[in-house]
């Protein structure tokens, strides 16, 4: 039973050494240990507060980024739709200009063809007139070699001409 129940001397000296150790710790080590624990507790609280603030800031930045992204997408869609409208307008204007230019070129070609036709007709008429005059001249020379035939022709022409 000696092992289960300690002797009184042992209990006394253990208690005295515990009290001396407790007094020394309370006098010299308790305040620095408690100060270190308080400092550690404050630094943990500060870290938690900073982490919470950082989390809120990240949330705010994420929301702001999403807003900016939505705005950028809306601007992109607007720019693309405007570009599409401008493209369609340019194509329509180019087609219209091409049709107008084609019609103008066709009209110029018609005018040129008519001019060339008129020139060709005038040339043909001149050539026909020249040939007719030459043929008539030869016929008249043959017919008018006789004086009497000349007189008959002049009188007939004078009858046909009305003043």
Report domain extents, the chain. Answer: 8-129
Entry pTM: 0.42
With a cut of 60, say whether residue 163 has pLDDT above it: no
Please, which pLDDT band fits residue 56 given cuts at 50, 70 and 90? very high
With a cut of 70, say whether residue 130 has pLDDT above it: yes
What average pLDDT does the segment 66-75 reach? 95
Rg (CA), the chain: 64
| H helix count then E strand count, the chain | 3, 0
With a cut of 60, say whether residue 9 has pLDDT above it: yes
Q: Which helix (H) or strand (E) holds 21?
A: helix 8-24
Higher pLDDT, 108 or 3: 108
Per-residue confidence (pLDDT) for residue 41, from 0 to 100? 96
What CA–CA distance (Å, rounded) separates 79 from 72?
10
With a cut of 60, say whether residue 23 has pLDDT above it: yes
With a cut of 60, say whether residue 1 has pLDDT above it: no
What average pLDDT does the segment 8-34 reach? 90
Find the helix packing angle between 30-143 and 147-160, rounded to 10°.
Answer: 130
Per-residue confidence (pLDDT) for residue 91, from 0 to 100? 95
Higher pLDDT, 54 or 125: 54
What average pLDDT does the segment 52-56 reach? 95
With a cut of 60, say whether residue 97 has pLDDT above it: yes
What CA–CA distance (Å, rounded) separates 108 from 115?
10
Q: Which of 128, 48, 64, 71 is nearest to 79 (CA)?
A: 71
Reduced to 3 states, what is the DSSP secondary structure of residue 100? Answer: helix
Higher pLDDT, 143 or 31: 31
């Amino acid at each position: 039973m000696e092992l289960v129940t300690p002797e009184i001397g042992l209990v006394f000296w253990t208690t005295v050494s515990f009290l001396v150790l407790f007094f020394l710790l309370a006098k010299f080590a308790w305040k620095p240990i408690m100060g270190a624990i308080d400092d550690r507790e404050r630094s943990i609280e500060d870290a938690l507060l900073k982490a919470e603030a950082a989390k809120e800031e990240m949330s705010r930045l994420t929301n702001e980024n999403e807003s900016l992204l939505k705005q950028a997408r809306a601007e992109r869609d607007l720019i693309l739709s405007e570009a599409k409208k401008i493209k369609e307008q340019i194509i329509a204007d180019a087609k219209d200009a091409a049709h107008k230019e084609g019609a103008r070129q066709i009209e110029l070609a018609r005018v040129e063809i008519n001019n060339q036709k008129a020139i060709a007709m005038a040339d043909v008429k001149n050539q026909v007139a020249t040939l007719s005059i030459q043929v008539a001249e030869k016929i008249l020379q043959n017919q008018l070699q006789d004086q009497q035939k000349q007189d008959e022709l002049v009188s007939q022409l004078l009858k046909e001409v009305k003043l």
